[in-house]
Structure 1
Amino acid sequence: MEVGLFSLLFSSFVHLFLSSRRELCMYIYIYIW
């Protein structure tokens, strides 16, 4: 049960990281430009 909970938390974290990285790259690109 802990492993399933951990994998669920990890997958949600990865999803959040990928979606936030998209905006982060956009902000960095605008900041550099």
Structure 2
Amino acid sequence: MNRRNFLQQLGLLCSSMAVRPAWAAWQDAERAADL
């Protein structure tokens, strides 16, 4: 298996499944800190 292709697929999976909810939680935490 091509390592670059594997990393690209892994990146797409992470960005679609993990990053969005994590980013939303991070923004909520920043808002709470600002308040």
Which TM bucket (shorter chain)? 0.5 to 0.7
Pairwise CA RMSD: 1.4
Instruction: Give the percent of matched residue pairs that are identical in Structure 1 and Structure 2.
Output: 6
TM (norm. structure 2) is: 0.61
Q: Which runs of 5+ in 2 are unaligned?
A: none
Structure 1: segments with no counterpart, 5+ residues: none
Count the aligned residue pairs.
32
When normalised by structure 1's length, the TM-score is 0.63
